[in-house]
């Protein structure tokens, strides 16, 4: 009997070791809540009609010799377009700075738990950095922290035509969203009656009351293909979960069901973008001048970007030159781009200048 139990435990351990976790994003530190003053401004934020524009830079890893590319460009762009469509109703759009391939066997096989710092050398300043790895053991994706400016996805996740949301889900964490079934701050009760002693939707779970309480017991296995909750459990007050947010991008369950963010999630993300020191740098101004102040800008090495949501003016006058030379890779992206006198592009071998119209913030 003992032997059987040991064997059973060993098999269980095997399953545990091989279990694929949807999302590796960890919640650390206190809950990020908004003050009353911020809540008031949130109402104004909800009313905005022009979109918040987030710069996105995508790095697709391959092995040192260029083989085992983590995902094809077509698959990357399909997932990016899915994300664009998911955020559009929340008045958040994306400026796609670039999609590049980096050959590194080390980074193409990436352990998100122990090798996070390896990404530092590949982060492009001012952007939400999306890294795609051929192997990301145990995970579909992770945003590492909430909020954050970089995330990792497995190549299989990006390649899958039935996975429509992992890119948008991890970006949601980067923009300040928790899982709808989060328990780090306490388990959320079902009631939405603020007079009820169990009422806690603003302080427990994902801190949002317009996402229904989500059963955290088995978030992967309690939704059927009709997007109906079948867990049959109750919250801490004994109230049955009946209306769990099975269609929300920040839950687990059936992939085909997860298509929406709520207005509360949209408002929270936009509030994070204008209040979080982490996120402010990745949100583009409407009109951008480079140089922004008097004096020349010269780039000779490294990868970087200048971008505005609507208009980008390169070089304001002949004394404030904008020069790209040497091995510098420079991405200039906006709805409209004006190259004025004093713009000088002279890339050497390995250097590049990309001037691209962004179609995702129209
Ligand atoms: Zn997640």
Q: From ligand 1's centre to the CA of 64, what distance in Å?
A: 30
Q: Looking at residues 326-332, what average pLDDT do you find?
A: 98
188 falls within a domain: no
Distance 150 CA to ligand 1 centre (A): 13
Query: Does 156 share its domain with 111?
Result: yes
- The average pLDDT across 215-225 equals 92
Residue 44, in any domain of the structure: yes
Tens-place pLDDT, residues 113-133:
999 999 999 999 999 999 999
49: CA distance to ligand 1 center in Å?
28
pLDDT digits (tens, 9 = 90+) for 233-285: 999 999 999 889 999 999 999 999 999 999 999 989 998 998 899 999 999 99
Residues with CB in 5 Å of ion ligand 1: 23, 25
Cα of 8 from ligand 1 centre, angstroms: 31
322 alpha carbon to ligand 1 midpoint, in Å? 41
CA distance linking residue 340 with residue 321, whole number of Å: 9
Residue 350 and residue 266 share a domain: no
Structure tokens at 92: 């958040």
Domain co-membership, 347 together with 313: yes
Q: Check whether residue 289 and residue 143 sit in a common domain.
A: no
Q: Mean pLDDT, to the nearest integer, of 74-86?
A: 98
Count of structural domains within the chain: 2
Asked whether residue 141 is domain-assigned, the answer is yes
- Confidence grade of residue 318 (pLDDT, cut at 50, 70, 90): low
Taking phi over 0 as left and psi of -120 to 50 as alpha, with beta for the rest, 29 belongs to: left
Q: Please identify, among 280, 312, 342, the residue that sits at the C-terminal boundary of a domain.
A: 280
Residue 215 covered by a domain: no
Domain that holds residue 167: 21-177+261-280
E strand spans, 215-318? 287-290, 297-299, 303-307, 311-314
3-state secondary structure of 260: strand
Grade residue 48 by pLDDT with cuts at 50, 70 and 90. low
- Give yes or no for residue 39 having a pLDDT over 70: no
Answer whether residue 67 is part of any domain. yes
Ligand 1 center from residue 4 Cα (angstroms): 37
Backbone phi, then psi, for 211, in 5-degree steps? -105, 120
Residue 17 has pLDDT above 50, yes or no: no
Mean pLDDT to the nearest integer, 131-156: 97
Note the pLDDT of residue 182: 97
Residues 46 and 107 occupy one common structural domain? yes
Report the CATH number at residue 118. 3.40.390.10
pLDDT over 90 percentage in the chain: 81
Confidence of residue 38 (pLDDT cuts 50, 70, 90): confident
Same domain membership, residue 289 and residue 273: no
The Cα–Cα gap between 31 and 184 comes to 8
Token pair recorded at residue 296: 């020349």
Report the C-alpha gap between 170 and 130 in whole angstroms: 9
Q: Are residues 265 and 328 in the same domain?
A: no
The pLDDT of residue 5 is 39
Mean pLDDT of the chain: 91
Q: Does residue 267 sit in the same domain as residue 290?
A: no
- Same domain, residue pair 272 and 345: no
Summarize the confidence of residues 297-318 as an average pLDDT.
Answer: 92
Average pLDDT over residues 44-52: 71
Distance separating alpha carbons of residues 185 and 205, to the nearest angstrom: 6
Helix (H, G, I), strand (E, B) or coil at 278: coil
CA of 173 to the centre of ligand 1 (A): 7
Q: How far apart are CA 151 and CA 131, in angstroms?
A: 6
Give me the pLDDT at residue 1, please: 38
If asked whether residues 293 and 274 sit together in one domain, one would say: no
239 within some domain: no
**Backbone phi and psi for residue 243, each to the nearest 5 degrees, phi listed first:** -125, 40
Are 269 and 290 part of one and the same domain?
A: no
129 and 265 fall within a common domain: yes
Residue 111 in any domain: the answer is: yes
Looking at the domain assignment, is residue 326 inside a domain? yes
């Amino acid at each position: 009997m003992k032997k059987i139990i040991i064997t059973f435990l060993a098999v269980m351990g095997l399953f545990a070791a091989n279990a694929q976790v949807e999302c590796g994003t960890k919640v650390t530190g206190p809950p990020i809540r908004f003050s009353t003053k911020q809540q008031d401004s949130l109402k104004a934020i909800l009313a905005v009609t022009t979109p918040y524009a987030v710069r996105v830079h995508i790095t697709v890893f391959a092995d040192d010799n260029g083989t085992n590319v983590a995902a094809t460009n077509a698959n990357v762009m399909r997932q990016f377009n899915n994300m664009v469509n998911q955020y559009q109703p929340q008045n958040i759009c994306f400026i796609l700075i670039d999609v590049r391939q980096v050959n590194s066997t080390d980074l193409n096989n990436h352990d998100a738990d122990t090798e996070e710092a390896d990404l530092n050398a590949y982060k492009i300043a001012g952007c939400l950095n999306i890294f795609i790895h051929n192997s990301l053991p145990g995970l579909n994706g992770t945003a590492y922290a909430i909020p954050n400016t970089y995330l990792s996805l497995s190549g299989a996740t990006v390649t899958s035509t039935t996975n429509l949301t992992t890119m948008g889900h991890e970006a949601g964490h980067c923009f300040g969203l928790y899982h709808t079934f989060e328990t780090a701050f306490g388990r959320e009760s079902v009631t939405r009656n603020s007079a009820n002693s169990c009422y806690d939707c603003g302080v427990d779970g994902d801190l949002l009351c317009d996402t229904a309480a989500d059963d955290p017991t088995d978030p992967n296995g309690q939704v059927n293909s009709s997007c109906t909750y079948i867990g049959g459990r109750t919250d801490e007050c004994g109230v049955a979960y009946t209306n769990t947010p099975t269609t929300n991008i920040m839950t687990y369950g059936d992939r085909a069901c997860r298509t929406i963010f709520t207005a509360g999630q949209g408002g929270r993300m936009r509030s994070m973008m204008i209040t979080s020191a982490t996120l402010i740098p990745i949100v583009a101004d409407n009109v951008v001048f480079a140089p922004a102040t008097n004096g020349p800008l010269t780039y000779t090495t490294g990868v970087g970007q200048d971008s505005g949501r609507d208009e980008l003016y390169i070089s304001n006058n002949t004394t404030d030159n904008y020069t790209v030379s040497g091995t510098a890779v420079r991405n200039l992206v906006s709805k409209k781009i004006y190259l004025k006198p004093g713009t000088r592009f002279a890339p050497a071998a390995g250097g590049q200048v990309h001037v691209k119209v962004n179609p995702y913030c129209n």
